[in-house]
Structure 1
């Protein structure tokens, strides 16, 4: 029976680059899967249903909350987000690792439920850099960007709750840093012992 996978959470203020980092990490890391969250916000240009999010209305989302379908859920900028509990549990039990791109509220909920999860917080190198990234991606109106920036300091203050802190000053370096966290966990004795059980038996025979 495969050893249970590891659950990772990645949190950051909007614009810090967590989505790009997680997407790049998924492409280069085998055995790592991202949960597709449910959200009540509108689909952005280029996003796909069931790939980026499951887009639902508020009534449907609250119905799923009542059914206790979410491992965590939170309201962020007037929209709701939630992570499927069943999918995460089934994927971890298969032996695969799961990475969740969620806000600090969701990460806190998961840490209370699953103490063995590993939480990562990503920060920008400066508030000016954060504003430039929010503006350059061209996804939000100026009023929305201003609201995100005003909320950033409150979000940033929660970095102390995470296990690891990554400063996204250079994308390649930040990507390598997160990859190193996952590799370090995978090289720990219990997982290596399970993976190389036959070899260890031969070496000790």
Structure 2
């Protein structure tokens, strides 16, 4: 009987580098599966449907909500984002880890259903660096950027609800810290029920 997989939830303000760190982690840990989110926002340059996101209409997204096909969902900066339920549940049951890259509101919903998940908050080195990253990205309008920056402090205030906080000053270091978190979590007694049955009756 295999150990159930870990549900890794990574959040942080826009510009904290969540996508970059998750990509680095997936390259180093092939056993981790990335849960592709559904969104109603338009694809950015270079993004592919089914790879970066499942891009859909507002109407189709609302149908998924009604049919309980989303583990969590939220409206962020006038767009909807959500996590398909079936993939996550089946992957965890198979013993594989799943990583979700979601906002703080989505993480709250996940916690209600999976309190045993591993919740990691990614921080930028400073608010000044955060603003610089968002502007350099060049994918959003000035209005959207201002919304993201205005919301960032409120999102950071939510880190008290997470299990871990990781400073993303360097992608490599941030990735290594998350790898260490995964190792530690898998060694927790409450995650090793099979060993408990084997060694102490």
Q: When the two structures are superposed, what TM-score results if normalisation uses the length of structure 2? A: 0.92
Separation in 2 of the partners of 1:13 and 1:190? Answer: 31
Partner of 1:162: 162
Partner of 1:99: 99
Separation in 1 of the partners of 2:128 and 2:43? Answer: 27
Separation in 2 of the partners of 1:141 and 1:66? Answer: 32
The number of residue pairs the alignment matches comes to 198
Partner of 2:37: 37
Partner of 2:8: 8
Give 1:141 shift.
1.8
Larger mean Cα displacement after TM superposition, 26-35 or 57-66: 26-35
Larger mean Cα displacement after TM superposition, 24-33 or 135-144: 135-144
Partner of 2:127: 127
Separation in 1 of the partners of 2:31 and 2:189? Answer: 18
Give 1:191 shift.
6.3
Structure 1: runs of 5 or more not aligned: none
Partner of 1:182: 182
Give 1:172 shift.
1.6
Alpha-carbon RMSD across the aligned residues, in angstroms, is 1.9
Give 1:30 shift.
3.0
Separation in 2 of the partners of 1:116 and 1:60? Answer: 31
Separation in 1 of the partners of 2:88 and 2:193? Answer: 24
Separation in 2 of the partners of 1:191 and 1:115? Answer: 13
Do the aligned partners of residues 105 and 193 (structure 1) sit closer, same or farther apart at CA in structure 2, a change above 3 Å counting? closer
Separation in 2 of the partners of 1:43 and 1:194? Answer: 44
Structure 2: runs of 5 or more not aligned: none
